[in-house]
A and B are shown apart, each in its own frame.
Chain A
Amino acid sequence: MRVHGMRRSRGVVVAVAVLAWSLARLAPVIVAQPQSSCLLAGTDSAAILDELSGIRAKDSVIRLTGFTRTPASSGFHDAVEFLQESLRQAGVPDVHVESYGTDAPQPWSVRRRPGLPSWEVRRAELRSMDPPRRIASFEEEPICLARYSRPGHVVADLVDVGVGVSPADYVNKDVRGKLVLATGYANRVDELAVGGFGAAGVIVSGGSSYSPRTGWGYPDMVNWQVLNPRASGGREPSFAFVISQDEGEWLREQLRGRRTLRLEADVDATLADAPQEVLTAAIPGTSHPDEQVLLLGHLDHVRPSANDNASGSSALLEVARSLQRLIRSGRLVRPARTIRFLWMTEGAGTVGYLNAHPDVGGHTVAALNLDMVGEYLVPGTGPMRLTRTPDSLPSFLVDTVMNMVQHVDTRVVFDPTGSDSLLNIRLAPFSANSDHYTLADGAIGIPAMLLHHAPDPFHHANIDGPDKVDPTEMHRSMFIAAATAYYLARVGPEQLPRLAAEVYGGASMRLGETAREALSLMDGVPVPERDEAYGFADRKLTHVADRELGALASISRLAPEHLPDLKPLASGLTAQATAHRAALASRYVTLTGRRPPLRVLSSGDARAERLVPRKKVRFINERWQQELQVDALTASEREWLTQYMTGTELPQVYIRVPEMLNFVDGRRTLLDIRDRVSSEFFDWSVGDDYAGHYEDMSLAARRIGIDSVLELMRLLEKGELIVLEERK
C-alpha cells in the first residue's frame, strides 16, 4: 500500500516527470521543479539529489563487506578505520571514535550489565576425511561458524539428530564425544546436544534459524547464527558450524550410504572482554550547535552482510560526504543545528552511546536509523519501509520524512549501474527491530524512525552480498536521510507554518484512516461483541486524535520561543476527530437502534483506573527485563513472567510491554495506558507487518487482558522498577 497523500500529489508533477523520463536514466539528477511540494527549497533538494551517488555508496558497501564486523573485535575496528579515513578524506568535521570499556559508567542501567565480548577467529574449518571435502571454512565464508563459538579440535563421527532442539531428538542416539548434525537453532542444539548429552560439537544446516521461508529456493544459503557470548547455566557453549541445506543433504547422503562418517572440526578462536567502539562525526550547526539531528546505522554483523548493514553504514558516509561538500562549496547554507552521524554496534553500541551521553535525548530533535537501505527489489523483497515513531512519542518527524519520500518518489531517480525499478514504499508501524527502538524509548525520548527494507530473502545469510545492493535504491534512501536531516537541522520559525501544514495533512489522513478502521471494525464483529467494538473504536479515535495533536504540538520542539499559532490546526484536528466519533456513534445507532453504550468497567479495569504508575529508577524501558530485580520475585512469579513474555496471551508482547512503560509519566492511569497500547500496532492505515505478526486484526488480537497487566505491574513494582500510586 502506498500512502494516499503521495498518490494525490503525483499528478501534479506528472508533466515534469514525463519530460524528465527520457533523460532521467542518464544521471541521477533531474529537472528542477518550478513549484516544489518538497519542504526543502527546490535548489536545495536538487543539489542534494545531485551530489549523492549510489555508485560511490556501493563502493563503500563493497569495502565494508570485506570485514567480519563482529562487535568489539578486530574486523569491526577495521571497518571503523575505513569509515574514519573516508570521512576525513571527505573533510567531514569532528570525526572521532569513542571507546567504552567494560568499566564505563552505565547511568541508564540500574544493574551493571556486561558488554559484548570480542571474538577473534584465527581459523575454523570443518572437513570430511573420506571422501575428502572441505565442508566449511571461516576464511572463505565466516558465516559458517556461529558467532561466539569456542575453540576446539575434534575428529569424530557424525550423528544426525534431526531438528535437535528437543530431548526426543536424542532418544536412542549416542552422541557422546561425537559431532551432531541438526537443523534447529544452533544455540539450542548446543545446549541440548553438548550441554545435555555430551556431544563434542554442533553442525546445523538449512535455513530454519530465522524464518522458515528464507530458506526457500536458496539451497546454498547459510544462515547467520549466534551462540551465547557468556556462560549460561554454569556452562560455556561449544562450537557450531553452520552449513547450507545442500551441504547438509550431502552429509546426510553420506550417512545413509555408510555406517560412519568421520569429520574433523577445527576452531581456533578467542573470546575476551573488550571495549565497544562507536564512530561519530558531525557537521556543526551555526546558531544552535547544541541541538542536533542524528543519523545512525549499525556497522556490525558478519561478513558480508551487505544490505544488513553495510548499506546503511555506507549511506551515512555518502550523506555525510555530500552534505559536507555541498555546505563547504556554498551550494547549501550551513544549517543552524548540528547533524551528527553515528556508526555503532546494533543495540549494545547504541546503549553504550546513550550511557556515555546520558542527556543526548534532551538536545536531539530527531533521529533516523538507516538499517538495510539498499535492496534490489527482487522477488521476495519487500518495499522500503519507514517505521513511525511510537504512539507514546508522536512527532513532526513522520511527516517530514514522508514529504522527502514523496519528493524522491515523484522524481525518476536512476543510478547508471543501478536498477530502473520505481520506488515502492510503505509507512510501517513502530517496530523493535533496530536501534531507533532504543532512541524512541520513553526514557530517551528522541523521535526516531527506521528506514529499512523487509522482508529481505537474503537477510542474515551469506548471500546478503554486495550484488544485492542497488545503487538506485541506495540513492533514494540517502536522499530521504540527507534531506530530512538537512531540513530539520535548518528549519527555523519562518518555515514552521509550512511544516505544521504538512503534519496537519498527514494527521488528517491518518485520522480518516482510523475512522475507516473504526467503522469497519464495528460493522465486522459478531453482534455480542458490538458494544465492545464500539467502545474500542471510539477510544482508538480519541487516542489517534491525541497522538496527532501531539505530533502537531511536537513542532514546538523546533522553536520553543517562536512557535507559530498552532491552535487553528489543532482545532481542525479536534473537529475532525469529533466528526469521526459522531459518525461512529451514528452508525452504532443505525445498527442497533440503541444509543451508544457507556463504558462498563470490569473490576480489573476499575482497579487499573485507580492506579498511576511512576518509574522508580532510571532505565531504558525496552531493557526492563534485564533491569528487573528478579531476586525479589518468588519462583512462581518468575515463572508467570516468563510465561507472559514468551507465551501467546498477548500478541506483540515484546514491544507492547515497553510501550506501556513508555506511556508511564506519573499522571496517566494504568487503564489509560492499557487502552492506548491496545489501540496501537494494529492500524489499518499502515497495513500488516511483513512478518505476518499483524495478520490478525480482530478485536481479540487487540485486547490486552487487564488482569495480566495488573499482575505485570505488580511484579515490576516488586522488582523495583516502578511505583504504583493510588490516584487521589
Chain B
Amino acid sequence: MRLVSRLANVATAALACVAWSTSEQAPASTSLRATLSEAMKVELRGKQALDHIYRISTFHRSVGSRGYHAAADYVAGAARAAGLKEVEVLTFPVNGSRRILDTYEVGYAWQVEGGELTIDGTDVRLCRYDDVPTCVVEYSAAIDTTAELVDVGAGTASTDYADKDVRGKWILTSSPASAALAFARQRYGVIGVVSYWGNYAPDRGPFPDQVAWQAVPADSSGQLSAFSISARAAAALKRQLADGRVKLHGRIDARVFEGQAEVVTGIIPGKGLPEEEVLFTSHLNHHKPGANDNASGCGLDLEIAAVLTRLIADGRIPPPKRTIRFIWMPEHRGTQLYLDRFRDYARRGIADINNDMVGEDQQECNSVFVLVRTPDSLPTYLNDFLESLAEDVAREQFRSPFGTRNQFHYRSEPYSGAISDHAYFVDGSIRMPALLLNFTPDNFYHSNEDTADHCDPTSLMRVGYIAGVAGAYLASAGAAEGRQLATLTTSAALGRLGRTLADGIAALQREGDIHLAYREARNRLVQAGLREAAAVRSVIRLARELSDDDAVRRMSDHVERVTADHLKALSDAYAAACAAAGTSPTAPQVSTNEETAARLVPVRHLYGPLRFSYLTTRLPEERRAWYERNELPPLAREEVLNFMDGRRDILTIRNAVSAEHGPVSLQAVRRFVDDLISVGLVTVSHQ
C-alpha cells in the first residue's frame, strides 16, 4: 500500500521539467544522507534492541510503581552504557489534581501487588495477576470480596439493568470496565466489574485467551475494582450463569497513591547549536509485557543512541551540531510533565521522532508500518523526509540477519490526534514538528499477549534506520541539507496538490450542490497550496540563511504557481460541470457572518493542548450538550486552537480547518471559540 509514494515518484519525474536551478545543492549535503544511510544500515543491531525489549517487558510499568521504577533504572543504565551524556531520571510528583500544561491534571500513581478472580466454591480461577498482569484493571482499588455475578451485557444503558438486582454484586460486561463501572456504580451500587471487552471483536476472533489491558479513572481512587478477563473465561462464566447462580471471589491487592512519575533522559551533546534539540521520545509505561507497546520504542531508542554515539566516536559520522535528546517517559503524562517543566521547546525544538510500537513482526502481528504526519496547522519538510527514508527501506528491503525476511509495508497517514506523545509537540503553542512511527494494527495490542516473542529484529532495524538517519541528519542539517529537504518536500507537495485537484474535480461530479462542492474543493486547494508552500519554507528553521535563499524561494514560488494553475483548472472544470448540469457558475458570496468572522482574531492563552473535559466541565449544561452533536469533531477542535496564531481571523481558521477535517460550519467554529473565550483560554481582538 504505497500509493502515496508512487504519487511522489510521479511528482519527482515532473520536477525534472521544473525550471529552477539546483546548482546550490552542495555535494556535501548528498553525502551526509548517504553517509548516515550507509552507516546505519551496517551498524544498527535489531537483535540488540530486541534484547532491551525482552528485558523491559518483564516489568509491569504502571506510572509511579516499582515496576516502572525498575524499568526506568534499567533504561538509564542502558542509556549510560550506550554513551549518552547527562543521563538522568527526572522525577515529578503525581499527587492528584495539580494542574500541568494549563488544562491537564497530574493524576496518581498506582501499585498492584497481586490479584485473582475465582469462582467461589470451586477451584476454578478465572485469572491471576501473576500469570496475566492485565487481568487487574489499572487503577483498580483493593478488594477482597465474594459476591454474586450478574450478566448485564454491555452494561452502559439503563435497559441493561432492567429487572436485575446488581446492588452489592459483580457485573459481567462486554464493555470496557471504565464505561460499565462508571455507569453501574453511580446508579446501581455494584461492587465491581468483570469485563471481557477486547480490543478486537468481543470474542477476540482467533485470540480467545487474550486479556485486554484496561484502566479505570485514577481520580475515583478507592472506589472502583475491576477485572479484565478473556473471551474464553467469559464464555465459561456465561455457561455457568445459564445453569444458575454464580458467586465470584475477587481479590485485588493494589493501591492508588501520591507518588512520583519518572522521566529518563540523556543526550548526545550538540556542537555549534547545543541549545537546539532533536528529540527521540518513546513511552516506557504500560502493563507487562507491553513488548511492542512500547518496550519496542524504548529498546530501539537505546540502540539508536548506542549506534550514533559509537559512529560519532569512531569519526564515521560528524558530531551533531544540535543536541540529540532521548526521552523515555510515561505516555501522555510524562510528556505533559516534561513540557510543563521545560517550556522553551517552541524556541529550541527542531523535531521529535516518537517511536511507539516499532518492533512488530509484520506477519505475526498483521501490521503495516505507519508514519503519522503532522496536522495541517504544522506543515513541515519532516513528513516527506521520513517518508523518503521509509521508501529506502521499501526499495532495499534490508533486514536484520537475526530477524524475519518479511516484506516491509508502509503507509503515510494523516494526523490522528493524541494517540501518542508526538501530539503534544505539534500543538499550536509549541509547533515542533513531530512524527509518530508505529506499526498498526497489531493482533496483540494492549493485551497480555503483547510479548517480545512477537517482536522482529528486522522491523526494529528498519524503523531504527528511518528514525536514526532522520534524527542524526536533522541534528547536523545546515543550509545545504535544508535545500535538499526543500527539494524533497517540493516534489512530494506537487504530487499532493495534483491529488487535491483531482479530488476536487471528482467532487464536482458527485450529486449534490455543485456550487457548494466547488466552494469547498476550491478551499481545499487553496489551503493545500498554503500548506505545501509553508512545508517547503519550513526548512528555513534549519539554517537562518535559507530565509532569503533563492533555491528555497524558487521552490515555494513554484508550489504557489502550480496551485494557481490548479485553481484555474478547477475553475474550468466547475464551469464545464455547470454547463453539463444546465446551470451557471456563481461567484463566491461573502455572508455577513463571514465578514464579521473575518474581523475577529482570536488570541490563544493556553500552553499545551486543550484537555477537552477541562472545557466541558466549565460550561453550562446546554453548551456542553452541543458537543455531543459532533458538529465540530475532536480533530477539528484541536486544529481550531492550533491555527490560532494571533494573526489568523476566525474565517481563515474555519477555512483551514474545513479543508482538513470538513466541511465544518463557521457557526460551529465560532461557537467553540466563544466557549473558549467564556472559560478564559482565548481572547479576541477586532480588526
Contact with A along B227-251 (1 / 0, CB 8 A): 0001011001001000000000000
- Contact (Cβ within 8 A) B453 A46: no
Task: Indicate if the CB atoms of B448 and A27 lie closer than 8 Å.
Answer: no
Q: A467: which B residues are within 8 A, CB to CB?
A: 452-453
Known: A63-B58, A244-B401, A417-B448. A28 touches B45 (CB 8 A): no
Q: In the assembly, what is the distance between CA of A28 and CA of B43, in Å?
A: 43
Q: Does B483 contact A (CB under 8 A)?
A: no
- Select which of B58, B128, B130, B236 is within 8 A of A62 by beta carbon: B58
Question: Which residues from A are CB-within-8-Å of B54?
Answer: 62, 65-66, 466
- Binary contact readout A446-465 vs B (1 if CB under 8 angstroms, 0 otherwise): 00000000000000001100
A666: Cβ under 8 A from any B Cβ = no
What size tier do the contact residues of chain A reach?
A: 35 or more
A139-B45 in contact (CB<8A): yes
How far is A220 from B405 in the complex, measured between Cα atoms in Å? Answer: 10
Q: Which of A209-255 contact B (CB under 8 A)?
A: 220, 244, 246-247
Query: In B26-77, which residues have CB < 8 Å from any A CB?
Result: 38, 42-43, 45, 47-48, 51, 54-55, 57-58
A539 in the interface (beta carbon within 8 A) = no
Residue of A nearest to B229 (CB): A26
> Nearest Cβ in chain B — how far from A304, in angstroms?
8
Cβ-based interface call for A103 (8 A)? no
B-contacting 9-mer, from A129-137, A346-354, A543-551: A129-137
Q: Is the CB of A416 within 8 A of B211?
A: yes
For the complex, is B131 an interface residue (Cβ under 8 Å from A)? Answer: yes
Q: Tell me, rounded to whole Å, the shortest Cβ–Cβ distance linking A216 to chain B.
A: 17
A26 near B401: Cβ-Cβ < 8 Å: no
Q: Is B449 an interface residue (CB 8 A)?
A: yes
Across the interface, which residues of B come within 8 angstroms of A244, CB to CB? Answer: 401
Which chain B residues border A583 with CB–CB below 8 Å? none
Residues of A within 8 A of B580 (CB): none
Within 8 A of A (CB), among B560-599: none
Q: Which B166-202 residues have a C-beta within 8 angstroms of A?
A: none
Contact between B402 and A26, CB atoms less than 8 A apart: no
* Distance (whole angstroms) from the CB of B241 to the closest CB of chain A: 14
Is A53 interfacial (CB-CB < 8 Å)? yes
Tell whether A26 pairs with B45 under 8 Å between CB atoms, given A141-B402, A415-B131.
Answer: no
Q: Which residue in chain A gives the minimum CB-CB distance to B444?
A: A417
Query: 1/0 contact trace for A429-473 toward B, CB 8 Å?
Result: 000000000000000000000000000000000110011000000
The contact of A31 among B123, B128, B401, B402, by CB within 8 Å, is B123
Q: Is the CB of A26 within 8 A of B51?
A: no
What A residues does B128 contact at CB under 8 A?
27, 53
Set of chain B residues within 8 Å of A141, measured between Cβ atoms: 47, 402
Within 8 A of B (CB), among A462-487: 462-463, 466-467
Pairwise interchain contact A133-B453, C-beta atoms closer than 8 A: no
Instruction: Indicate if the CB atoms of B123 and A29 lie closer than 8 Å.
Output: yes
Q: Is the CB of B48 within 8 A of A416?
A: no
Kindly list chain A residues whose C-beta atoms are within 8 Å of the C-beta of B479.
none
Using Cβ atoms and an 8 Å threshold, which residues of chain A touch B132? 55, 416-417
Instruction: Write out, one digit per residue, whether chain A residues 11-55 have a CB within 8 A of any chain B CB (1) or not (0).
Output: 000000000001101111111100000000000001000100111
Contact of A26 among B38, B57, B236 (CB under 8 A): B236
Q: Chain B 335-347 against A: per-residue CB contact (8 Å), 1 yes, 0 no?
A: 0000000000000
In the assembled complex, the Cα of A22 lies from the Cα of B125 at a distance in Å of 12
Residue of A nearest to B57 (CB): A62
Tell me the nearest residue of chain A to B316, going by C-beta: A132
Contacts of A29 in B (CB 8 A): 123-125
Is A10 an interface residue when CB atoms closer than 8 A count as contact? no
Indicate whether A417 sits within 8 Å of B233 (C-beta atoms), given known contacts A26-B125, A220-B401: no
- Residues of chain A lying within 8 A (CB to CB) of residue B401: 220, 244, 246-247
B124 touches A31 (CB 8 A): yes
Q: Which residues of B contact A22 (CB under 8 A)?
A: 236, 239
Considering residues A62, A134, A246, which has the most beta carbons from chain B within 10 angstroms of its beta carbon? A62
Interface residues on B, range: 35 or more
Specify which of B124, B128, B209, B401 lies most central, judged by the most chain A CB atoms within 10 Å of its CB.
B401
Residues of B close to A132: CB separation below 8 A: 38, 42
The residue that A140 contacts in the complex, of B47, B123, B211, with Cβ under 8 A, is: B47
B439-453 vs A, CB cutoff 8 Å, 1 = contact: the mask equals 000000000110111
A31-B124, A416-B448 known; A63+B47 contact, CB < 8 A:
no
In whole angstroms, what is the CA distance A655 to B126 when docked?
49
Question: Whole-angstrom distance from the CB of A66 to the nearest CB of chain B?
Answer: 6
Secondary structure class of chain A's binding surface, majority of residues? loop
A81 interface residue per 8 A CB criterion: no
Complex Cα gap A673–B401 (Å): 52
User: Do residues B233 and A26 form an inter-chain contact, with CB atoms below 8 A?
Assistant: yes
- Neighbouring A residues of B38 by C-beta, 8 Å: 132
> Are A53 and B124 CB-contacts (below 8 A) given A26-B230, A141-B47, A244-B401?
no
Whether B127 sits at the interface, judged by CB under 8 Å, is yes
Which residue of A is nearest B240, CB measured? A23
Per-residue CB proximity of B196-218 to A under 8 Å, as 1/0?
Answer: 00000000000011010000000
- How far, in Å, is A521 (CB) from chain B's closest CB? 47
B42 and A134 within 8 A (CB): yes
Alpha-carbon distance A22/B233, docked complex (angstroms): 9
**Selected contact of A417 from candidates B55, B58, B451, CB within 8 Å:** B451
CB within 8 Å of B: which A45-99 residues: 46, 50, 53-56, 59, 62-63, 65-66
Q: With A53-B130, A220-B402 in contact, is A140–B45 under 8 Å at CB?
A: yes
**Set of chain A residues within 8 Å of B48, measured between Cβ atoms:** 139-140
Nearest A residue (CB) for B119: A23
With A59-B58, A62-B452 given, is the CB distance from A26 to B127 under 8 Å? yes
Which residue of chain B lies nearest to A127 when distances are taken between CB atoms in the complex?
A: B42
**Given A46-B123, A132-B42, A247-B401, A25–B209 Cβ distance below 8 Å?**
yes
Chain A residues with CB under 8 A of B451: 417
Contact check, B126 vs A27: say whether CB atoms are below 8 A apart. Answer: yes
Chain A residues with Cβ under 8 A from B230's Cβ? 25-26, 416
A289 to B54, CA, bound (A): 40
A416 CB contact (under 8 Å) in B43, B209, B452 = B209
Residues from chain B with a CB closer than 8 A to the CB of A55 are 130-132
Q: Which residues of A contact B232 (CB under 8 A)?
A: 25-26
**A27 & B236 in contact (Cβ 8 Å cutoff):** no
Closest to B449 in A: A417
Interface residues of B in 381-405 (CB under 8 A from A): 401-402
Q: How far apart are the CA atoms of A32 and B122 in the complex, in Å?
A: 9
Instruction: Known A140-B48, A416-B209, A462-B402; judge A26-B124 contact (CB<8 A).
Output: yes
A56 in contact with B130 (CB, 8 Å): yes
- Please measure, in the bound complex, the distance between the C-alpha atom of A415 and the C-alpha atom of B449, giving whole angstroms: 12
Q: Which residues of B contact A140 (CB under 8 A)?
A: 45, 47-48, 402
* A62 and B42 contact, CB distance less than 8 A: no
Interface residues as binary, A169-201 with B (CB distance below 8 Å gives 1, 0 otherwise): 000000000000000000000000000000000
Q: How far is the CB of A143 from chain B (nearest CB, A)?
A: 10
Measured between C-beta atoms, what is the minimum distance from B227 to chain A in Å? 12
Q: Which residue of A lies closest to B58 (CB)?
A: A59
Q: How far is the CB of A668 from chain B (nearest CB, A)?
A: 52
CA distance A50 to B122 in the complex (A): 13
CB distance from B43 to the nearest CB of A (A): 6
CB distance from B445 to the nearest CB of A (A): 15
> Beta-carbon contacts of A116-136 to B below 8 Å, as 1s and 0s?
000000000000000011100
Apart from A26-B232, A26-B233, A463-B402: 14 A-B pairs, beta carbons within 8 A: A32-B123, A53-B130, A62-B54, A66-B51, A66-B55, A140-B45, A140-B48, A416-B132, A416-B230, A416-B448, A417-B131, A417-B449, A466-B452, A467-B452
Top 3 nearest A-B pairs (CB, nearest first) are: A467-B453, A27-B125, A140-B45
Sample of 27 A–B contacts (CB below 8 Å)? A25-B232, A26-B124, A27-B127, A29-B124, A30-B123, A46-B123, A53-B128, A55-B132, A56-B131, A62-B54, A63-B55, A66-B51, A134-B42, A134-B43, A139-B45, A139-B48, A141-B402, A220-B402, A244-B401, A415-B131, A416-B127, A416-B131, A416-B132, A416-B209, A416-B211, A416-B230, A466-B452
